[in-house]
Amino acid sequence: MGRVLERQKANEVTPSRQHAEAETAALHAEAASIKAEEASAAKSEFLATMSHEIRTPLNAVLGMAGILMDSELADEQRMQARTIKVAGESLLDILNDVLDYSKIEAGRLELEVVDFEIPGLVDTVKTVWDSQMSGKGIDFSVNLAPDVCPVIKGDPTRLRQIVFNLVGNALKFTEAGSITVNIAQNILPDGWLELQVEILDTGIGIPSDKLDSLFEKFTQADGSTTRKYGGTGLGLAISQQLISLMGGEIGVESTVGAGSRFYFTVKCEEGDRSNVASMDEDASGNSASNLEMDQKLKILVAEDNAVNQLVIRTMLEKAGHEIEVVENGALAVEAVQAASYDLVLMDVNMPEMDGITATKHIRELDGPVSEIPIVALTANALTGDRERMLAAGMSDYVSKPIEPAHLAAAMGRQCDLDVELESVVDTNDTGPQELTEDQLKAFDDLSDSLDELLN
């Protein structure tokens, strides 16, 4: 009897018990939210590490393929080297998509706000896609309504990324007919400009029951088309997120067998032509800066990865610069005191002493050496990395895989040199590239270490 009473008592809901239960629930919710935050932080950390680990060897693959294509090759070998380069570049695109998506999810993607020209965007879209469209026999046109404000404020790189993704999809899923890009503008009641972009294709179309979920990550309209067309299913999800960060919306209309119409809006303000920065490279990579400058530089490279050392050394020596390579930050601090250099290219992640610590040490040295320009070379791509490096005293930053044009621009900025912009020379015109003794030795060392690894 007593026990029954006790049990009844235990089941009674008294105000204090209600309060305790609410408190426990709140504690559980807090613990769950902390756990979720920790998991999200761990995911971002993991992706940053993965990005580094994947970009480092990819840097070597792309760099070496570029160097290989600059050498004298038979047609078949040139085609093989080109395949390596193109495949490496698409791997880099996928990696960038994964990183973009995780940056957006973690709320770490920041949009740029600069003045840029819409006709410039139109030219870029035409230049990059024209030859691929005509190669597939597709009529391609890009139309800009005459009343569109020529200069607007916004993020030109991200806007281009969205348009490229939609045009790329249109091309991927269209076998014949036409692809049209129309750009128009609307003035909203609150005075903002609304840019309206549509991409029309005459491709395979999308079944109506798939349209709703199309903008979710990893979604493809038809699992079986995945094998035929490839892709990660991230492009539209990223585009949608970027568009909503830009205050706009994306939508689609489609008829199976007839084609699709993707359309989006972004909110922006009118820009000022006098603030438009000159582009030092077009998006297609069709024009590149030459690493050859009006002055030969003596450059210290601090980089621990043997293949990357070789890629950077070859790029720079080919352009006539004098290169010294060390493999960690501590050796870099010693080297700048032992000899005089015009510039240091500093990898960020290195054993013994990392690039950031080494830079801090160099900035604390006595005399003019403390002011030597230091350009960070980094495979990390998360927002905030640039600020972290500049705060440590680095003068500039070039991300890996290294684009010669970006490296040349940073070198020009830091050493006050004029950097000439020129179109990529026809690689068939460049003569054979003799390897220097150092490069041959580095190749030998590399194959020795590979042998060791494999045996």
Member of 56, 59, 124, 169 binding ligand ADP (CB under 6 A): 169
Closest CA to 372 of 336, 409, 330: 336
Member of 44, 225, 436, 439 binding ligand ADP (CB under 6 A): 225
Binding of ligand ADP by 155 (CB under 6 A):
no
Binding of ligand ADP by 236 (CB under 6 A):
yes
* Residue 245 beta carbon to ligand ADP: minimum distance, rounded to whole angstroms: 17
Please count the other Cβ atoms lying within 10 Å of the Cβ belonging to residue 33: 10
Q: Tokens in use for 366?
A: 């006595």
Binding of ligand ADP by 304 (CB under 6 A):
no
Segment near ligand ADP (CB under 6 A), from 228-236, 345-353, 387-395, 427-435?
228-236
**Residue ranges with strand state E in 125-205:** 139-144, 151-154, 178-187, 193-201
Residues with Cβ within 8 Å of 52's Cβ and at least 6 positions away in sequence, in order, are 349, 379, 380
Is the alpha carbon torsion for 443, 449, 452, 453 positive or negative? negative
Residue 398 CA to residue 59 CA, distance in Å, equals: 12
Member of 201, 303, 327, 347 binding ligand ADP (CB under 6 A): 201
Residues 260-299, one symbol each (x = binds ligand ADP by CB under 6 A, - = not), give x---------------------------------------
Q: Please classify residue 407 by burial: count the beta carbons closer than 10 Å to its beta carbon, then call 0-12 exposed, 13-18 middle and 19+ buried.
A: buried
Query: Closer CB to ligand ADP, residue 183 or residue 291?
Result: 183
Binding of ligand ADP by 220 (CB under 6 A):
yes
Looking at this protein, which amino acid is placed at residue 380?
A: N
Q: Tokens in use for 125?
A: 């879209």
Contact 110, 226 (CB under 8 A): no
Half-sphere exposure of 347 (CA within 13 A, CB side): 29
* Residue 218 beta carbon to ligand ADP: minimum distance, rounded to whole angstroms: 8
Total residues contacting ligand ADP by CB under 6 A comes to 22
Segment near ligand ADP (CB under 6 A), from 17-25, 104-112, 198-206, 377-385?
198-206
Q: Tokens in use for 245?
A: 């960060």
Binding of ligand ADP by 173 (CB under 6 A):
yes
Q: Tokens in use for 451?
A: 């042998």
| Interacting residues with ligand ADP between 28 and 67 (CB under 6 A) | none
Binding of ligand ADP by 88 (CB under 6 A):
no
Using alpha carbons only, give the angle 116, 119, 122 rounded to the nearest 5 degrees.
110
Segment near ligand ADP (CB under 6 A), from 200-208, 291-299, 310-318, 436-444?
200-208
Query: Closer CB to ligand ADP, residue 197 or residue 409?
Result: 197
Contacts 24+ apart (CB under 8 A), 74-80: 78/427, 78/428
Segment near ligand ADP (CB under 6 A), from 28-36, 100-108, 155-163, 168-176?
168-176
* Residue 40 beta carbon to ligand ADP: minimum distance, rounded to whole angstroms: 23
Query: Closer CB to ligand ADP, residue 68 or residue 221?
Result: 221
Binding of ligand ADP by 140 (CB under 6 A):
no
Residue 269 CA to residue 248 CA, distance in Å, equals: 13
- In the three-class reduction of DSSP (H, G, I as helix; E, B as strand; rest coil), residue 403 is classed as coil
Place of tokens 């998506």: 101
Binding of ligand ADP by 214 (CB under 6 A):
yes
Binding of ligand ADP by 232 (CB under 6 A):
yes
* Residue 361 beta carbon to ligand ADP: minimum distance, rounded to whole angstroms: 45
Member of 170, 243, 266, 375 binding ligand ADP (CB under 6 A): 170
| Interacting residues with ligand ADP between 378 and 417 (CB under 6 A) | none
Query: Closer CB to ligand ADP, residue 17 or residue 136?
Result: 136
* Residue 368 beta carbon to ligand ADP: minimum distance, rounded to whole angstroms: 51
Residues with Cβ within 8 Å of 184's Cβ and at least 6 positions away in sequence, in order, are 145, 147, 148, 195, 196, 197
Member of 233, 279, 361, 393 binding ligand ADP (CB under 6 A): 233
Distances from the Cα of 29 to the Cαs of 25, 33, 36, 400, in angstroms? 6, 6, 10, 41
Please count the other Cβ atoms lying within 10 Å of the Cβ belonging to residue 434: 9
Query: Closer CB to ligand ADP, residue 260 or residue 378?
Result: 260
Looking at this protein, which amino acid is placed at residue 233?
A: G
**Minimal CB distance to ligand ADP: which residue?**
231
Binding site for ligand ADP (CB under 6 A): 165, 169-170, 173, 201, 203-204, 206, 214, 219-222, 225, 231-237, 260
